[in-house]
A and B are shown apart, each in its own frame.
Chain A
Amino acid sequence: MWLLDKFLRKAIKRGRFIVTDHDGKVYEYGPGGDEEMRIRLTHPKAAHHIASYPQVGAGEAYMWGWLEVEAPHDIRDMVLFVTKNTKRIGDASLQPKSPLKKMAQKLIAKADGINLKGKARKNAEHTYNLTRRLYELFLDEDRQYTMGYYRDTSNSLEKAQLDKKAHIAAKLNITPENGPNMRVLDIGCGWGGLALYLHRVYGCEVLGVALAPDQIQFCKERAEAEGVADKVKFALMDYRDVEGSFDRITSVGLLEHVGTPHYPQFFEHTAKLLKPDGVMFSHCCGRAGPPGFTDAWTRKYIFPGGYIPALSELITQSEKFGWQVMDVEAMRFHYSHTLEEWYNRTVMHKDEIVELYDEQFYRMWQFYLAGAEQSFRYGKMVNWQIVYVKDREAIPMTRDFMYEESERLRESEEPPVWHLAQAAE
């Protein structure tokens, strides 16, 4: 316990954190105050494991049932409590300090970021071939597995996701008039929501590609059901295998999986695919600070091969391939609100998720969502929305078109109702 004890003594500066070890001994940290958090360690190795492997230890201990959070709190409360104290994402205060260890971690993170085509598929499957049912249980009605755009924090997740799509569409500089003549490529199409939306509001033809078979299958079913399968197509393929030419390219929540070593390929291949007067839009999680590396927990359990880029890392590469960055919007806190809602919906469906998988998986999922939320709430994570062109005359002189179109689209449609909302109540 002494190593964990040492860490907690240093880390907890607000509220009160009470740890009951497996042997019944009670340790107390922090000056006290309104917030009090109690956890129990149920396994003799728990404290040692958490302290020795700061990046994965707590997550694993929780997953394995070695760490229990006492009511009325839960794991999300604990994660937010601890990180609010340390005020940094897990790779700073919670990180081993020795330079050697740091370097080793960096190397492993780097090697892990190399996504060969086969491995890229495996990684995507790792995350997403969890059945569609799981995503139905915690995502919004349109199954957007990326940040919602919370113009008002009291908005529903469905509204935030609809506003997000409107915001993205507005940045593409398409109009209902020229839309029907356009071809759009959506790289990393997920469950198909954006592709279907773009067709719905602009009449454009869309090709969505992704590496998760169940996503593509689901996307195709949706296009069929909406009667637009001739205009909105989906294919299970690596974007590097896409050919042809497109008026617009979107990628939302994709670059996190591409990995830094592959940015040149991404910008080179998309530059080939986009027409000279085209527009490319990319939306991804980003780190507000300088380049870093992916924490071990996320690498091991959540997104193998993933990396959250600093703005400079993206632009250094895009500049090399003739891309002109037109607009960057750093979206702050929208993701933490989104993740909070995903967490709530996950907890709402605990029984079914445990039945689908097992208790350990459910706990891993909880910890992942809570950890991600804290990194957007207290850490240095943001989302980059970047508009790229190849010709400076491809978009209007000012941003007014974005604002006007975003507003028009937001007001043109009511958000859907989550079909599980009733059941949950």
Chain B
Amino acid sequence: MTGGLIDKLLGRLIRRGRLEVTYASGRRAVYGAGGDGAPDVAVRFTDNKVPRELLMDLALGAGETYMDGRLVIERGDIMGLLSLGQLNDRWEQEGKLIAPGPVAQAAKKLVFTWRSFNKPSTARRNVAHHYDIGNDLYRLMLDETHMQYSCAYWPREGMTLDEAQEAKLAHIAAKLALEPGQRVLDIGCGWGGMAIYLARKFDVQVLGITLSEEQIALARIRAEEAGVADRVRFELVDYRQLHKQEEPFDRIVSVGMFEHVGQPQYETFFRTCANLLKVDGVMLLHTIGRMGGPSFTDAFTDKYIFPGGYIPALSETVAASEKVKLIASDVETLRLHYAKTLREWYARVMANREKIVAMYDERFFRLWTFYLAGSTAAFENGEMCNYQIQFTRDRQTLPFTRDYMTATETKLTTP
């Protein structure tokens, strides 16, 4: 029965590209005509429970059955499969693909869980728990120069990942309007890439904080190597505890951390930031965002990638920041930049398949590639984007035009 239902659904859904499915019974079905440049992928279900699991929750079902080797890709790869799905359910075309009717209810649910499959971000807590995921995996996947585990910035064609990550750092630094002698706080500093970059390029002192011991250890080594250890500190501390030990900062930057805060904590987050920021301070928040209204995290991501994480809508973010009088002085939505970044990471992971499987196992490799591919699809055709929000506490703080941003960025990126 579920075989019949999924058959109908796929028949309706796949309008671009081509999907070939071999069911456990041996029956083969082809959805979509293909030949239009969209992915052409063939999969096989090894048992007859797979369709039901997909129908229950598409993201979780697909992720688990793929991970377990019960959904096998026979032509193409997981990137192709997930891109194909999302391409046929472009967020922009919401509500136009599914005709009303008895199947529509199930279809709506299917599409909804598909759509709400989000994002990359630190797969730290849960994955680390199960796999003892270390810095090595990230070294294989991320850019070498800055080890940035967040969206890069691609202003030109033909950039390398390393160049695009450096361009991102420059883009953010320009929005911080830094002055010599300032103290900067980096909330969620990762392996220290941002903190080190700021200290190298500007006469500032940076405190980077994270909750990961592995990150701190490597960040400290990298700061030594970069010769900025005298102006960059890294500490293992929760941002909510920081006011006990630190004076307010001139600047706060937070990249790829807000996704982990969770909606119930938004007001606490912004209140804490406002209190950690001087009255004439500037804060730059860089976070994955959802383009629609408030929603929830898909089951796969919640279970395997980031438990407790949530990708914010812009409305709920600024509704929380307004309450503590942080003024959203500038908002930029980066679209497709993350998809380009993820495709680079995916390529590096694929290129290092042997090593990663040796470090972990096949199942982990499939989990990881599923996560990267699903995230890519979400940024290309799903609901995901990336917000850069600049906040001030006083309207006088920054110049009255954006010229300073472009001027600083040009200076930083011109060799």
**Are B292 and A288 in contact, CB atoms less than 8 angstroms apart?**
no
Bound-complex Cα distance A288 to B325 (A): 7
**Are A392 and B318 in contact, CB atoms less than 8 angstroms apart?**
no
Q: Scan A122-165; emit 1 where CB is below 8 A from any B CB, else 0.
A: 00000000000000000000000000011100000000000000
**Are A319 and B314 in contact, CB atoms less than 8 angstroms apart?**
yes
What residues of A have a CB within 8 angstroms of the CB of B92 in the complex? 276, 322, 390-392
Question: Which residues of chain B from 322 to 340 have a CB within 8 Å of any chain A CB?
Answer: 322-323, 325, 327-337
**Are A397 and B337 in contact, CB atoms less than 8 angstroms apart?**
yes
Name the residue on A nearest B387 (C-beta): A325
Q: Scan A298-330; emit 1 where CB is below 8 A from any B CB, else 0.
A: 000000000000111001100110101111111
**Are A316 and B395 in contact, CB atoms less than 8 angstroms apart?**
no
What residues of A have a CB within 8 angstroms of the CB of B323 in the complex? 290
What residues of A have a CB within 8 angstroms of the CB of B332 in the complex? 326-327, 399
Q: Given known contacts A324-B333, A330-B328, A400-B155, is B322 in contact with A316 (CB within 8 Å)?
A: no
Subset of 12 A-B contacts with CB under 8 Å:
A276-B92, A310-B322, A320-B293, A325-B331, A327-B331, A327-B332, A333-B396, A382-B395, A392-B385, A397-B154, A397-B155, A397-B335
What residues of B have a CB within 8 angstroms of the CB of A151 in the complex? 400-401, 403
Q: Given known contacts A289-B325, A311-B322, A319-B313, is B293 in contact with A327 (CB within 8 Å)?
A: no
Bound-complex Cα distance A2 to B144 (A): 72
Binding site for A on B (CB under 8 A): 92, 94, 153-155, 291-293, 313-316, 318-319, 322-323, 325, 327-337, 385, 395-396, 398, 400-403, 406
Bound-complex Cα distance A333 to B395 (A): 8
Question: Which residues of chain A from 363 to 422 have a CB within 8 Å of any chain B CB?
Answer: 380, 382, 390-393, 397-400, 403
Bound-complex Cα distance A311 to B328 (A): 8
**Are A315 and B330 in contact, CB atoms less than 8 angstroms apart?**
no
Bound-complex Cα distance A334 to B400 (A): 8
Q: Given known contacts A311-B318, A320-B293, A392-B385, is B325 in contact with A325 (CB within 8 Å)?
A: no
What residues of A have a CB within 8 angstroms of the CB of B292 in the complex? 319-320, 322
Name the residue on B nearest A323 (C-beta): B291
Name the residue on A nearest B380 (C-beta): A392
Rounded to whole Å, the gap between the CB of A278 and the closest CB of chain B is 12
**Are B329 and A289 in contact, CB atoms less than 8 angstroms apart?**
no
What residues of A have a CB within 8 angstroms of the CB of B400 in the complex? 150-151, 331-334
A312 interface neighbour in B155, B318, B330, B385, Cβ under 8 Å: B318
**Are B315 and A382 in contact, CB atoms less than 8 angstroms apart?**
no
Bound-complex Cα distance A399 to B401 (A): 14
**Are A312 and B322 in contact, CB atoms less than 8 angstroms apart?**
yes
**Are A319 and B293 in contact, CB atoms less than 8 angstroms apart?**
yes
Question: Which residues of chain A from 260 to 300 have a CB within 8 Å of any chain B CB?
Answer: 276, 288-291
Bound-complex Cα distance A320 to B330 (A): 22
What residues of B have a CB within 8 angstroms of the CB of A330 in the complex? 327-330
Classify the interface of chain B: helix, strand, loop or mixed: mixed
Q: Given known contacts A311-B322, A316-B315, is B335 in contact with A322 (CB within 8 Å)?
A: no
A397 interface neighbour in B291, B316, B336, B401, Cβ under 8 Å: B336
Bound-complex Cα distance A319 to B315 (A): 8
What residues of B have a CB within 8 angstroms of the CB of A333 in the complex? 395-396, 400
Name the residue on B nearest A311 (C-beta): B318
6 nearest A-B residue pairs (beta carbon): A328-B331, A312-B319, A392-B335, A316-B315, A315-B315, A290-B322
Bound-complex Cα distance A36 to B328 (A): 36
What residues of B have a CB within 8 angstroms of the CB of A326 in the complex? 332-333, 335
**Known contacts A312-B322, A315-B315, A397-B154, then 20 further A-B pairs from the complex at CB < 8 Å, ordered by chain A residue:** A149-B401, A150-B400, A151-B401, A288-B395, A290-B323, A291-B322, A310-B322, A311-B318, A311-B322, A311-B328, A312-B316, A319-B293, A322-B94, A325-B331, A325-B333, A328-B330, A329-B330, A333-B395, A333-B400, A403-B402
Name the residue on A nearest B319 (C-beta): A312
Bound-complex Cα distance A400 to B141 (A): 29
| Most B C-beta atoms less than 10 A away, residue of A316, A325, A382 | A325
A329 interface neighbour in B153, B337, B402, B403, Cβ under 8 Å: B402
Q: Scan A331-349; emit 1 where CB is below 8 A from any B CB, else 0.
A: 1111000000000000000
What residues of B have a CB within 8 angstroms of the CB of A400 in the complex? 155
Bound-complex Cα distance A399 to B316 (A): 24
Rounded to whole Å, the gap between the CB of A102 and the closest CB of chain B is 17
Q: Scan A48-76; emit 1 where CB is below 8 A from any B CB, else 0.
A: 00000000000000000000000000000
**Are B336 and A312 in contact, CB atoms less than 8 angstroms apart?**
no
What residues of A have a CB within 8 angstroms of the CB of B337 in the complex? 397
Rounded to whole Å, the gap between the CB of B336 and the closest CB of chain A is 6
Bound-complex Cα distance A327 to B331 (A): 5
What residues of B have a CB within 8 angstroms of the CB of A325 in the complex? 291, 314, 331, 333
Bound-complex Cα distance A199 to B18 (A): 45
Rounded to whole Å, the gap between the CB of A75 and the closest CB of chain B is 24
| Most B C-beta atoms less than 10 A away, residue of A290, A332, A392 | A392
What residues of A have a CB within 8 angstroms of the CB of B313 in the complex? 315, 319
Rounded to whole Å, the gap between the CB of B334 and the closest CB of chain A is 8
What residues of A have a CB within 8 angstroms of the CB of B291 in the complex? 319, 324-325, 392
Name the residue on A nearest B171 (C-beta): A398
Bound-complex Cα distance A327 to B405 (A): 15
Bound-complex Cα distance A256 to B160 (A): 45
Question: Which residues of chain A from 152 to 188 have a CB within 8 Å of any chain B CB?
Answer: none
Rounded to whole Å, the gap between the CB of A203 and the closest CB of chain B is 27
What residues of B have a CB within 8 angstroms of the CB of A276 in the complex? 92
Bound-complex Cα distance A390 to B335 (A): 12
Bound-complex Cα distance A315 to B290 (A): 12
**Are B155 and A332 in contact, CB atoms less than 8 angstroms apart?**
no
Bound-complex Cα distance A392 to B332 (A): 13
Name the residue on B nearest A332 (C-beta): B395
Rounded to whole Å, the gap between the CB of B393 and the closest CB of chain A is 10
What residues of A have a CB within 8 angstroms of the CB of B406 in the complex? 403
Name the residue on B nearest A403 (C-beta): B406
Rounded to whole Å, the gap between the CB of B300 and the closest CB of chain A is 23
Bound-complex Cα distance A329 to B331 (A): 7
Rounded to whole Å, the gap between the CB of A335 and the closest CB of chain B is 11
Rounded to whole Å, the gap between the CB of B64 and the closest CB of chain A is 30
What residues of B have a CB within 8 angstroms of the CB of A311 in the complex? 318, 322, 328
**Are A316 and B329 in contact, CB atoms less than 8 angstroms apart?**
no
What residues of A have a CB within 8 angstroms of the CB of B325 in the complex? 288-289
Rounded to whole Å, the gap between the CB of B245 and the closest CB of chain A is 30
Rounded to whole Å, the gap between the CB of B381 and the closest CB of chain A is 9
Name the residue on B nearest A334 (C-beta): B400
**Are B322 and A332 in contact, CB atoms less than 8 angstroms apart?**
no
Name the residue on B nearest A288 (C-beta): B327
Rounded to whole Å, the gap between the CB of A289 and the closest CB of chain B is 6
Name the residue on A nearest B95 (C-beta): A322
What residues of B have a CB within 8 angstroms of the CB of A322 in the complex? 92, 94, 292
**Are A332 and B335 in contact, CB atoms less than 8 angstroms apart?**
no
Rounded to whole Å, the gap between the CB of B117 and the closest CB of chain A is 17
Bound-complex Cα distance A331 to B330 (A): 9
Bound-complex Cα distance A15 to B406 (A): 41
Name the residue on A nearest B337 (C-beta): A397
Rounded to whole Å, the gap between the CB of B321 and the closest CB of chain A is 9
Bound-complex Cα distance A326 to B406 (A): 18
Q: Scan A210-228; emit 1 where CB is below 8 A from any B CB, else 0.
A: 0000000000000000000
